[in-house]
Structure 1
């Protein structure tokens, strides 16, 4: 047995103390992971159908956008600009400097038609929008269920500082479990 500097063997911890220390470490790690790395979210509305359904549960990477900038097509969780106590999930349609237009049921970014394979089959969007240029440091967000989505068309552009993270995994219900793609 290895001796300590004072010539005595190290004192053995009680089983209860080891359990308590392990629990404290686990709780601290869980809190740190949730604060800075990954966080679960619940989908309360149908604004992202058919991509995300009501009652789906997703994991959001809070670190993704510290490593790279959000991209067109990403599904993003953010603080709602009109009430930052509420979290929203929408698809990033355009970034600062881009010009957005919806004309004749089609999305155009910088005058180029954007194919949107993730939209419900046969969707006919109500109304036109734009053209509007997205300010630098902001994003234009839309739900996939375009006619039932409270999004940038009604509340404006999303400031970059309200972004929480990127939706990466749908984990509940189990039959829907999958990696969430960017829709491209």
Structure 2
């Protein structure tokens, strides 16, 4: 006796392959949507955000956060460098539009109050000072946590909101440093 395949049994492997292809295409489409519109992986280049972010760390940035919400003091943001928008920088927001800012011997004062900065170890401070100034509208004063090596608003001024395109949210590589960016 011969075993004959019924037409539905013969088509079953083809349907499975078609299903896998469909699922793969849907997965790629969802991934592309997330990367293009919601989250983007970035690589930290340099040591200006030590000790939390190290050179070559990989992290995700939220690209929607500032389209729908406000930028806050302490946020770690990614922005296009105003003097060369083809370069991206990552820094911490220190002062908001309308804030007065002064740096005396490495200590930061916003609106006359000393800013507690537990993310800046003493060995990473520098003694540079910045005279009292007011942050302009739609601009943000940003600084690296490793103050002695960071090129930041002390060098290039406040960053316009139009240059800020993401909020650092999660380090995913290396695995032993995985965690939320604070």
TM-score tier by shorter-chain length is: 0.7 to 0.9
The reply to whether residue 153 of structure 1 matches residue 165 of structure 2 is no
State the partner residue of 2:47.
46
Q: Structure 2 CA distance, aligned partners of 1:123 and 1:143?
A: 10
Shift of residue 179 of structure 1? 1.1
Deviates more, 1:149-158 or 1:115-124: 115-124
Gaps of 5+ in 2: 1-10
**Going by fraction, where is helix more abundant, 1 or 2?**
2
Q: Structure 1 CA distance, aligned partners of 2:140 and 2:65?
A: 16
- Secondary structure of the structure 1 residue equivalent to 2:154: helix
Question: What is the TM-score when the length of structure 1 is the normalising length?
Answer: 0.86
- Secondary structure of the structure 1 residue equivalent to 2:148: helix
State the partner residue of 1:93.
94
Shift of residue 122 of structure 1? 3.6
State the partner residue of 2:56.
55
State the partner residue of 1:125.
126
Q: Structure 2 CA distance, aligned partners of 1:130 and 1:94?
A: 14
Moved over 4 A (4+): none
State the partner residue of 1:37.
38
Paired residues, what number? 172
Q: Structure 2 CA distance, aligned partners of 1:85 and 1:15?
A: 45
Distance 1:21 1:124, change over 3 A: closer
Q: Structure 2 CA distance, aligned partners of 1:149 and 1:102?
A: 15
Deviations 1:111-154 (A, max 9, x none): 11111110023444132112121111011110001111111111
The reply to whether residue 82 of structure 1 matches residue 83 of structure 2 is yes
Shift of residue 24 of structure 1? 2.1
Shift of residue 75 of structure 1? 0.5
Shift of residue 161 of structure 1? 1.2
